[in-house]
């Protein structure tokens, strides 16, 4: 966390403007300044951590609850057929703002955003060994 706070903390403090669509004690949601689609909204825990694994159960529960509420509001307002929820952790994943946030991205048939990734080839044995490593990790 920078001393001045992330750009999202500055929005939370009303130091810079944003189009806020939802707010409660622990969470704020506002329109993305560079939307991938009409209604692209960011849902942000007020507690500033870079990654979701550092956020903690209380704030994670609050942001999960708000995600459902805000997604419902976006669908009702935009009338979109569906939506993606995307959450990046670390620059290698595409994260640009080091303050946890969830993207709600409205989707429409033929919008060109795509949705399929290229899966790796794996064996059942490698999946079993990997699952074991993850179960045992702290």
Q: Smaller CB distance to ligand 5GP: residue 72 or 91?
A: 91
In the set 19, 40, 99, 101, the catalytic residue is 101
Give the three-state DSSP class for 82: strand
Q: How far apart (Å, rounded) are the C-alpha atoms in residues 2 and 85? A: 26
The structure tokens listed for 106 are 């409205």
User: Which residues lie near ligand 5GP (CB under 6 A)?
Assistant: 7, 18, 30-34, 42, 88, 94-97
State the nearest-atom distance from the C-beta of 132 to ligand 5GP, in Å.
31
Q: Pick the closer one to ligand 5GP by CB: 32 or 111.
A: 32
- Which active-site residues does the annotation give? 101
């Amino acid at each position: 966390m920078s001393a001045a706070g992330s750009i999202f903390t500055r929005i939370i403090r009303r130091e810079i403007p944003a189009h806020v669509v939802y707010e409660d004690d622990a969470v704020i949601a506002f329109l993305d300044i560079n939307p991938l689609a009409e209604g692209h909204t960011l849902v942000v825990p007020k507690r500033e951590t870079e990654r979701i694994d550092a956020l903690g159960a209380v704030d994670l529960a609050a942001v999960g609850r708000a995600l459902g509420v805000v997604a419902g509001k976006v669908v009702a307002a935009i009338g979109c057929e569906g939506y993606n929820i995307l959450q990046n952790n670390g620059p290698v994943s595409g994260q640009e703002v080091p303050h946890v946030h969830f993207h709600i991205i409205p989707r429409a048939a033929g919008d060109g955003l795509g949705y399929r990734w290229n899966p790796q080839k794996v064996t059942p044995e490698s999946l079993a060994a990997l699952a074991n490593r993850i179960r045992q990790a702290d």
